[in-house]
Amino acid sequence: GSDTAFVKELPKTQSQIGIDLNLDNFLTASNGAMVANPRFYCKTKKKLAHAQRVLSRRQRRAKKEGRNLRLAKN
């Protein structure tokens, strides 16, 4: 494990804050601060599309050569 903290501790205050979690803005605070949605779906979608193209090529080659898909490496 790491000994350094990821978040620095802030000084104690008497003020309160409200936090709203939603899909448009990942986080909206009552003081107006907004955190954008990290959009993991878009990044994962590109990786999935690439993996599907690779699989499609492997399936075509396996069928063409009459092999099992597990044995088709290309």
What confidence score (pLDDT) does residue 74 get?
60
Query: For residues 54 and 48, what is the distance between their CA atoms, to the nearest angstrom?
Result: 10
Backbone angles phi, psi at 60, to 5 degrees: -60, -45
Q: Mean of the pLDDT values across residues 48-60?
A: 93
Query: What band does 2 get if pLDDT is binned at 50, 70 and 90?
Result: low
What confidence score (pLDDT) does residue 56 get?
92
pLDDT tens, position by position, 3-53: 776 778 888 888 888 888 887 778 888 888 888 877 787 889 999 999 999
How many C-beta atoms lie closer than 10 Å to residue 25's C-beta?
Answer: 14
Query: For residues 47 and 49, what is the distance between their CA atoms, to the nearest angstrom?
Result: 5
Q: If you search the block for the tokens 């350094």, which residue do you land on?
A: 4
What confidence score (pLDDT) does residue 14 get?
86
Cα-based distances in Å from 8 to 22, 46, 63, 71: 25, 35, 57, 52
